[in-house]
Amino acid sequence: MVEISIIDKVINIESGRKIDVNPNSKLGSPIFIYAVTKERKKEVFPIDSVVKDDWEKAEVVFFFSKKGLEVFMDTLGHVVEASLKTLYPDYKLAGITVRENEVRIDFFTNGSEFSSEQAEEVIRKAVEIAKNSRVEVDEIERSRVEEMLKNSGETFLLDLMKRIEKPKLIKIGNILTICENSIHLPDLSIIKKIEVTNLSTSHWMGREDAPLLTSIHVTGFPSEFDENLYSARKEEAMKRDHVMLGKEMDLFLTSPLVGAGIILWPPNGAIMKRALEDYIVKVHMKKGYQLVSTPVISSAELFKISGHLSHYRQNMFLFNLDEKEHAIKPMNCPFHIIIFKRKKWSYKELPVRYFELGNVHRYERAGTLHGLTRVRGFTQDDAHIFAREDQIEEEISGVLKLTKEIYDTMGLKDYKFILSLRDPSDKESYMGSEEIWQKAEVALENALKSLNVQYTKSIGDAAFYGPKIDVIFTDALGREWQCATIQLDFNLPERFDLTYIDKDNKEKRLVMIHRAILGSIERFIGILLEQYAGRLPLWISPIQVAVLPVEESDPQQVKRAEEINNYLMQSGIRTQLMVEGRLNARLRDARLLRIPLIAVIGKSELENGSLTVSYLTYGEDSDKRYKPKEEKLSFSSEKEFVEWIKNKVREQTGGVL
């Protein structure tokens, strides 16, 4: 019997049988099987393969799942690279970038034009290659990869290699390229359709003094079912695009003077971010977490001890100061360890739970940056739990319960648990002994079992210092987002010599649990904007109330609107007074800003002191498409209105705010 992970379940199937699995209404078609053999090798197989005796565990991967899209689009990108080089041997490849349902292929044309007709020719050739070729992945020595790229004249790929820790050599026919990933489609004929979505140009690595590259953007599908599923979502996705919503609601921006992937928050965005952070801080303090605060730079020696410098260097910003290498913080954990080590701890004082909204910076290639969901600087709701081994299951259970509480507040219901394990065939990528890893993996799995939650296993997705539980949220469009992550770590306590005094008065090694529930605050806000199409719950809306006099020329209506607006502000309500312009134009502006409560002050409101308010919330039609709901509310006074708002916020946040 072999353990097979399918969506959110682990089942056992006898060897020699095929896996009976159908397309899923959210995740699309099953496209390949990802298996780990008893010899600790990872392999990919076509979906119609029979279960083999030498499989230890396997996972069915669906097209619209996170892994499915990444592997499919990554492989598709290499097929298009092979097509380009076959048709235009003098072009130089410059890498590919996968973003959701699209892959961008960069190349250098030596200054010649590249037309849409040529792009269509490239696609026709790519379809032919997909029918008749296969991908070969060679995990050979770095020096050998460099030599082969030099011989083939691929200067841009040689430069790109400097930013990849373990580049793999990819062959399709006699065409060579490189990739960070070792997993690709087992059969290129899985790619049934390829189409061009855009042509663009950009400078190499985003530098204006660098060569100008051409980019062909393509998408593809394994079946008509998946294409139709994507088409049905496409129009809806445009309404929910968080970059578009961010501009309309005046939430965030970037500037070339500040730098790519660094987010600026104007007032609307800053107050929304603060509302989210206030909730997160308060809910953690209620659960026994203690606040800490750490700097954004340190000596690189700290990250040398933690192992980040050797395992994560390509994603770090490093600089020299006083003839010593320093780092901009990519992770909070080493800082929390230093705070913990300031004193000796008794077994009675554990667990210790440190929490920080920590600002971190990580290098991402310019071509991968997108809105709030892929940035270089972000805030983590980061916590580290220092515990005894006998406390592991209870602490993991507590984190999972807290995750559910927070996701319920956010209105997120559709999520699943994935137990991410190391790739047993790639021990160089992980710190620590075999014994430590086995102990950590068993402990996490036991915690999941003790809560009786369904989960799947993902081989090769563990952090370099320990296995983890990832929580994957599926949004209104069926897209998967990794949000919460819970990592068990026996390695950093060894590296930093973290101990406590046990009841026998002897020093014992403790264990660390790394965990973030929202993950990146920036990314999570982007997810929320798209989930709610901008119609956020009242408690987190950047502007909660718009106050509008009917007639801007009526001084009494304007004065009354100002009085109500000031009372709301003094009561802690986020409000905006909108006076100038025709009423319909102001109402349109309020709706564009997605303000949930719109109070209009006219003659009747002046006469009896009442308020008539429109309450706009997120809604869906019968096909799950976005359709805002509107409700009319009446209040006898602004005091009654404020009490209603505060009660609604308490209800939405479970009494935390």
Give the model's confidence band at 448: pLDDT under 50 very low, under 70 low, under 90 confident, else very high.
confident
- Nearest by Cα to 101 from 23, 195, 7: 195
Q: Above 80 in pLDDT, residue 424? A: no
Q: Above 90 in pLDDT, residue 530? A: yes
Which has more pLDDT, 430 or 470?
470
**Whole-angstrom Cα distance, residue 475 to residue 337?**
35
Q: What six digits make up the tokens of 568?
A: 């709301």
3-state DSSP assignment of residue 404: helix
Determine how β-strand 212-221 pairs with β-strand 290-291. Answer: unpaired
Average pLDDT over residues 248-253: 97
**pLDDT (tens digit, 9 = 90+) per residue, 61-101?**
999 998 899 999 999 999 999 999 999 999 999 999 998 78
Whether omega for the bond prior to residue 596 falls within 30 degrees of 0, making it cis, is no
Do the domains at 66-239 and 248-525 have one common CATH topology?
no
- Nearest by Cα to 167 from 369, 314, 54: 314
Residue boundaries of the structural domains of the chain = 2-62, 66-239, 248-525, 538-652
**165 CB burial (10 A radius; 0-12, 13-18, 19+):** middle
For residue 450, the model assigns a pLDDT of 82
**466 CB burial (10 A radius; 0-12, 13-18, 19+):** buried
pTM of the model: 0.80
**Whole-angstrom Cα distance, residue 475 to residue 531?**
6
**Whole-angstrom Cα distance, residue 380 to residue 377?**
10
Task: Look at 8-12, 110-114, 403-407, 533-537 and tell me which has the smallest mean pLDDT.
Answer: 8-12
Round the average pLDDT of the chain to a whole number and report it.
Answer: 92
Q: Above 80 in pLDDT, residue 143? A: yes
Task: Look at 10-14, 116-120, 378-382 and tell me which has the smallest mean pLDDT.
Answer: 10-14
Q: Going by CATH, does the domain composed of 538-652 fall within 3.40.50.360?
A: no
Q: Above 90 in pLDDT, residue 500? A: yes
**pLDDT (tens digit, 9 = 90+) per residue, 485-495?**
999 888 899 99
Average pLDDT over residues 614-627: 88
CATH superfamily, region 66-239: Threonyl-trna Synthetase; Chain A, domain 2 (3.30.980.10)
Beta-sheet strand order (sheet of 352-361) = 290-291, 352-361, 377-387, 511-520, 480-489, 468-474, 415-421, 455-459
**Whole-angstrom Cα distance, residue 5 to residue 651?**
37
Neighbour tally for 155: CB within 10 Å: 15
Residue position matching structure tokens 């699995």: 21
The letter for the amino acid at 293 is: S
List the end-to-end C-alpha distance of the chain, in Å, as a whole number. 50
For residue 206, the model assigns a pLDDT of 74
Task: Look at 152-166, 290-304, 325-339 and tell me which has the smallest mean pLDDT.
Answer: 152-166
Give the model's confidence band at 56: pLDDT under 50 very low, under 70 low, under 90 confident, else very high.
confident
Which has more pLDDT, 589 or 311?
589
Give the model's confidence band at 337: pLDDT under 50 very low, under 70 low, under 90 confident, else very high.
very high
Active site residues: 333, 362, 380, 382, 384, 468, 514
Binding-site annotation, residues for Zn(2+): 333, 384, 514
Q: Find the radius of gyration of the CA atoms of the chain.
A: 27
Q: Residues 144, 150, 152, 154: is their CA dihedral positive or negative?
A: positive
Average pLDDT over residues 37-46: 84
Q: How many CA atoms, within 13 angstroms, populate the side-chain half-sphere of residue 255?
A: 6
Q: What six digits make up the tokens of 16?
A: 């020699």
Give the model's confidence band at 425: pLDDT under 50 very low, under 70 low, under 90 confident, else very high.
low
CATH superfamily, region 248-525: Bira Bifunctional Protein; Domain 2 (3.30.930.10)
Binding-site annotation, residues: 333, 384, 514
Q: How many CA atoms, within 13 angstroms, populate the side-chain half-sphere of residue 363?
A: 13
For residue 252, the model assigns a pLDDT of 98
